[in-house]
């Protein structure tokens, strides 16, 4: 017999307000939300209940799969290790980033990423995973082999998002050579001659392949109803190009101008939650808090630190005027869900999936995730 689960005396973080009240779940759905403490159900002592977080962009799985240069880990073990950290951060839906096309870092060999996708699907089917995992294909459009890698995913129904990236020097993320030199000359220990040849090769590949690969992949996404993300748009012209491709998520715009144009075009502007927590971009571009202050920030992603996704909304609410906790939490739940067409989650609302977390937080401190529920089942 199906039973109800009730939590009372909670701070319920709704999309437009925080209310003290109770939440009822049954058959994997939220069946009621009411204000007032009531006297039925588990008393959670005034902790927050947040909607399950929706993560659109994380390459954290790569760190488990390839923890050291030249070292690869068992696929299922890597996925489970990644999943534990994701779920314990309150993330109930995650789009795992898989890189296609050999970029500046060398990329992965043919078959590696499709094997990862298959392993994720198998682990999910076997009940090994706490969060729901989907696939985000990060396509390096300047890479000669990106379409060859994409062909491995033409029948993969778990793909829900595809981003169009070009990391060639002199544009987008690397508009100046200072950061590019740090990333790919200093860290690799290249000589001036080696670095100059490297830059020349990457710029030539971008000029040769980027435009045609963007068009091909954007058309393929429209045919398959896959959401499209731009990446590192820096100018209004970049944004206009993205609009033409049907982009719904603008990842990491590098200027206020591009962020504002993307936001005004109803493309969800996505920035990294670590950027919010640290107060600056690791690559020297615009700070996410500046976008928030100007009301052009829509979505946060954990990028490379899963816990940052539950941490950053509290930082925004504390430190950015006019950003309420509800508005900040929507950036990691309702907004990303909508931008990729997931209408059944991301909000504490009657009739939606019972995806949520219980979070304890003293004023000004780091939040503690005490438990996590996905589709009415406790997973953490």
Domain ranges of the chain: 52-342
Is 0.85 surpassed by the pTM of this model?
yes
C-alpha–C-alpha distance, residues 198 and 248, integer Å: 33
Q: What is the pLDDT of residues 132-190, one digit of tens each?
A: 999 999 999 999 999 999 999 999 999 999 999 987 776 655 555 666 665 666 656 67
Q: What is the pLDDT of residues 3-28, one digit of tens each?
A: 899 999 999 999 999 999 999 999 99
Provide Rg for the chain, Cα atoms: 21
The fraction of the chain above a pLDDT of 90, given in percent, is 78
Tell whether the model's pLDDT for residue 216 goes beyond 60.
yes
pLDDT at 165 (0 to 100): 92
CATH topology of domain 52-342: TIM Barrel (3.20.20)
Task: Determine contact, residues 146/100, Cβ cutoff 8 Å.
Answer: yes
CA triplet 325, 330, 336: central angle to 5 degrees?
Answer: 155
C-alpha–C-alpha distance, residues 284 and 228, integer Å: 25
Tell whether the model's pLDDT for residue 325 goes beyond 90.
yes
Tell whether the model's pLDDT for residue 363 goes beyond 70.
yes
pLDDT at 43 (0 to 100): 96
Longest dimension (CA), the chain: 73
Give the pLDDT band of residue 280 (cuts 50, 70, 90).
Answer: low
Instruction: Return the structure tokens found at 136.
Output: 């985000």
Long-range interactions of 193-197: CB distance < 8 A, separation 24+: none
The DSSP line for 220-236 is: HHHHHT-EEEEES--SH
Tell whether the model's pLDDT for residue 305 goes beyond 70.
yes
Q: 138 - beta bridge partners?
A: 99, 163
Tell whether the model's pLDDT for residue 294 goes beyond 60.
yes
Task: Determine contact, residues 17/327, Cβ cutoff 8 Å.
Answer: no
């Amino acid at each position: 017999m199906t039973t109800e689960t009730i939590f009372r005396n909670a701070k319920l973080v709704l999309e437009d307000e925080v209310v003290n009240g109770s939440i009822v779940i049954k058959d994997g759905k939220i069946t009621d939300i009411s204000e007032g403490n009531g006297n039925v159900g588990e008393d959670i002592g005034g902790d927050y209940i947040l909607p399950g977080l929706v993560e659109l962009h994380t390459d954290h799985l790569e760190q488990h799969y390839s923890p050291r240069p030249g070292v690869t880990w068992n696929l299922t073990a890597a996925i489970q290790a990644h999943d534990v950290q994701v779920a314990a951060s309150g993330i109930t839906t995650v789009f795992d980033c898989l890189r296609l096309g050999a970029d500046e870092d060398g990329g992965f060999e043919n078959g590696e990423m499709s094997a990862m996708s298959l392993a994720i699907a198998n682990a999910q089917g076997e009940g090994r995973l706490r969060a729901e995992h989907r696939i985000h294909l990060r396509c390096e459009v300047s890479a000669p082999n990106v379409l060859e890698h994409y062909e491995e995913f033409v029948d993969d129904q778990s793909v829900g998002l595809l981003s169009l990236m070009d990391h060639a020097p002199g544009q987008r993320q690397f508009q100046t050579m200072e950061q590019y030199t740090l990333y790919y000359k200093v860290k690799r220990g290249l000589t001036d001659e080696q670095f100059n040849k490297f830059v020349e090769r990457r710029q030539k590949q971008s000029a040769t392949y980027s435009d045609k690969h963007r068009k091909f992949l954007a058309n393929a996404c429209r045919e398959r109803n896959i959401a499209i993300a731009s990446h590192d748009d820096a100018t209004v012209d970049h944004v206009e190009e993205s609009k033409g491709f049907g982009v719904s998520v603008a990842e990491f715009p590098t200027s206020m101008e591009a962020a504002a144009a993307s936001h005004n075009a109803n493309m969800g502007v996505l920035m990294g939650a670590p950027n919010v927590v640290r107060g600056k971009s690791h690559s020297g571009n615009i700070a996410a808090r500046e976008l928030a202050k100007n009301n052009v920030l829509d979505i946060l992603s954990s990028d490379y630190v899963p816990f940052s996704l539950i941490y950053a909304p509290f930082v925004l609410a504390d430190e950015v005027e006019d950003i309420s906790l509800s508005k900040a939490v929507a950036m990691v739940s309702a907004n990303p869900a909508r931008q990729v067409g997931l209408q059944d989650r991301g909000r504490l609302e009657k009739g939606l999936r019972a995806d949520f977390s219980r979070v304890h937080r003293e004023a000004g401190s780091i939040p503690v995730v005490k438990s996590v529920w996905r589709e009415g089942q406790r997973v953490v």
